[in-house]
Structure 1
Amino acid sequence: MIVGDNLFTHTWSLAVEIQFYLIVPFIYLSERILGTPKSAIFIPGLAVCSFVFYICVDEDTSFNFVFSRLWQFLAGYLTYLKEYHRIIEQQDLNVQYKETVLTSKNQGDSRGNVLSLILFMALLIIGLVPQNYQSKICFFRPCVTLMCSLWIAGEGGKERWVISLWPLVYLGDVSYILYLVHYPVYVFLNLHALTSEYWRTFGLLFAVVSSALLHHYFEKEYLKWNSRSVFTFITFLYISIILIVVHDQELQEMIYGRRIDYEKMLEAPDNYTLKEIVAANDLFNVDDRERLKHSACSYTDGEGPFGECEVRMNSSEEVTAMVIGNSYAPNMFRIVLDSCHKNFNKIIMKSYPVLACEPLWKTKKYRFDCSNAIDELSHSLRQRNPDYLFILSRHISLIPHGFISRSVENKKSLIVANILEKYVPFVKKKIFILDAFPRPKAKIGELVNAYLLENHTKSIPIHVQQTYEMKDARWQSAHRVLEQAMKQCQKCTLISINSFLSNKKNQFQFVNETNGLLYFVNNKHLSPYGLKTVQPLFKDICNHIVS
């Protein structure tokens, strides 16, 4: 929770749990309809399919998609079935054979207790593994899930002793409400810069004690309420949420002492407090997906932000521009519009409807179908025939993870040049291609805010920011590939945002080193502050290309 106060992560995990509850009746009915032999194949088979999907898709999908998490739930369900059938078997035991069977069972119980104790101790040891090592071990989550299931399955029954220890039983009773309580406690401490070890320990103890009190004096009583009382209480909660949403500005003023205008903050961030800067960084991450959409766009593919949109400007110039790319096209389209609205009478944005597909490489890095991306972009250019083209992409596939030789780079530049040849005939005047730049780590927002709060400062020195870079992503190689490809394209010009995001010593920054505002969000897109910082590049381009 030190760096995990992401609202989406917490609320979505609850949403996944609710969706599990919706799935349970169907799994239960399937198990009853199929019977024991068939369900013994169906349910493990479903768990295996879910697990295969989990390991095959990208990290975000594996974490957020319900089916990719179903194998964990089914592991618990299979444990329940094992215990259920054990109880049924005990009830069906014939009285005259009970003593004999129980004698043989005691020997099995002894072995089961030893195995359960070993698994329990192993889980305790695994819990001591540092978090940064846990994330690097790909089989860590499956291993823990399997061990927990085996432990609980082996501990079934009153005669088992480890799982019946009163501290574990009590922890299980309060665990769910503790899960709900600990999040707002830690977020409150973080937002108020109370991040020392003393405050974190206090937060942990407060969460545990308050969870125990809520369990005894609310949760137990709540379970006794009738339907009318439950409905009234839930209605009250919904009304409270609506009031909070409607009066969010007033609440913000109560918390921070004034209302925060984030547009004004971008103009003069040095005038804002540490808490306000941290809150702004959080907002940059929460709103990233919505900011990819533009209100002036009428998307041809659903509601956007991907696909194609056309915006007509008030300019008297009969000049058109087009923006293509991966998710950086909708990310940077806003500043192209703001910078060039006087220079073009029409600006079109086109990104392939499938996420992460790049315009200068046949993307295979992710598990998306990008096979038709380049042909579709070329077809759109043929139809639109713009005067100017902006290719705005992160060039992820051009960035190697590890060393590659110059000969390999030369081969890659030839491939890029060949792809550009598909675009060049359909652009009348000029093509501007965004150059490669350093890549931040996925949790850049949490890392930055954690540093700001822990050190009670808005400034982040460069040597700290360097730890936020994906060190194995050699962006300089992608720069050389693009630079070499430009030599074979007379219409093409490489444009770079690097100098705009660098300090006076020409050191690249992921966050402004003096005021603490993010240039990049967790999705590696430019934040509103990052976009505002690089906007002069596009203003300069548009002021010079149209005479």
Structure 2
Amino acid sequence: MTPIKNQKNSKRDDLQGIRGLAILAVLGFHFYPKQFPNGYLGVDQFFVLSGFLMCMLLTKSQQFPTLSFFTQFYLRRFKRILPLYFLLILCAVTALYTVFPTAPILQNQMSAGKALIFTSNRPHTEDEDYFEKLSIAMDLFTHTWSLSVEIQFYFIVPFIFLIGLQLKGASRYVYYVCLSLLSFAFHASSATSVAFNSVFARIWQFSIGMISYFIVDNQYKSNTFFYKPLENAAKQEGPGLFILVKYTVLIISMFIILITVEVTPLPARFLITIFTGILIVLDAEDLVLNSRFLIFFGDISYALYLIHWPIYAYVKLTYPANTWILTSALIISILLAFLVHQTFERWYLRQSNNMITILVVSLFFLNVIVINWYEIRENVDEVMNNVLFFAVAEPYDNGPDNLNNDTIYLEMKSQLKKMLPNIKKKLFILDSLPRIQTEGVGKIAEEMKKGKKTMEEINKSLYDPFHYERGRHRYAELVKNECGSKCEMIDYVDAFWNKTMNAFQYFDSKGFTYFTVINHLSAHGLEHVRPIYNKICAGL
């Protein structure tokens, strides 16, 4: 066994082993929370590993000019994270609309939107509890909170690194230790939700990873502040010292994570964070972290973390309390993560920055469309309905007795034929009514208050009977000839017809308008027509 390896020429398989241990802990906590109540600590290990990796990338980029220093770091990190992350959000939202039985769509649309812009670590409400959300499994994007914390730290860490770069020797370590202590103090003194979700309450864990990198990176330098005593001890005692210390730390870490009794979060989180940093520093091969089993899970850990939760949520909602199906879902998650890692993940990591940019931007906007699909569809439907509303009242092509040659009527028939196969019971069609002259709406109350005009005069100025009867004629023929009993007209004539004035009335005696624009009812107008819909609903 080799106690120390050259980091620049050798891949750290044991780091992949730590990732494998971390993802297995998270899987155990999500799928079997009673058996692995402390598995959430795997995320704390991921934060330490991320700090190590970020520091490594920043160190490699420090020789570049300032602008390139930032761009190189962000290009590498975003290339690694964004394509698969955005693809999984897209797949999860699509599954939400198609296969999920009881998941609340509105809540998940909000969560997907927050995940898309990496704000999942900001709860919807102050009372929202992460662990309660896990137990309910209604939110398909609960697990994206940790990615949000990490991405938010990306915008801080280059500045932390550049400040530390100005310090030499022991002073640099003192700087990072002080930063860690401040963040940990904030974490320990904050409310549970803040301590769990805030990026500032997690800086200490990323910083432990950064300190670990500096120690490992300087392991062969004679002026190393921290690592040299360990190296000297290794020379005196042999490789066994490193292995003994590493196994001791590893066994304690696994005991804390795997014990079936829930431990106090704060000390457990502190120990796991420190121990993960020590495991990184003690670069000695061991039978556990260097095993092919943990390395395999480490390699697929990112894909597995993203994929497993929506699958778990589906099983939890569809087959509650079925252990066999839950275990099958876990196996499917692992197999699917391996497939995604071997195909899509490996493919995009080989692509150029330009290709990645196109891919990421495309997936982002596709997600925006899919997340807001219902709203977009409703707006399109509203526009189409408005077009149809206005179109049905346009002049005839060949007079009222030749509708079979009338362009607008033929389009109405075409649209109706598309709708009818999807109608099981009844299709309600709102009949035409005279349009309102919208420019006079804002003057109703003022004119009534000042008494300049009578109600009849004001109403006459708003009344626009043009085209009205043509629309009603076309609708009547459509229902009679094409739809039959499956269609029913909704008619506002009785609701808005004033028998005294012998005209349509668009406002009440106090001057409150029933309309806002040509064919849009105000809140007051909606209440005015509510009895019509109450009667319809009562008859269903």
Question: Shorter-chain TM-score category?
Answer: 0.3 to 0.5
Higher relative contact order (CA 8 A, sep 6+): 2
TM-score, reference length from structure 2: 0.41
Q: Which has the greater radius of gyration?
A: 2
Q: Normalised by the size of structure 1, how large is the TM-score?
A: 0.40
- Structure with greater helix percent: 2
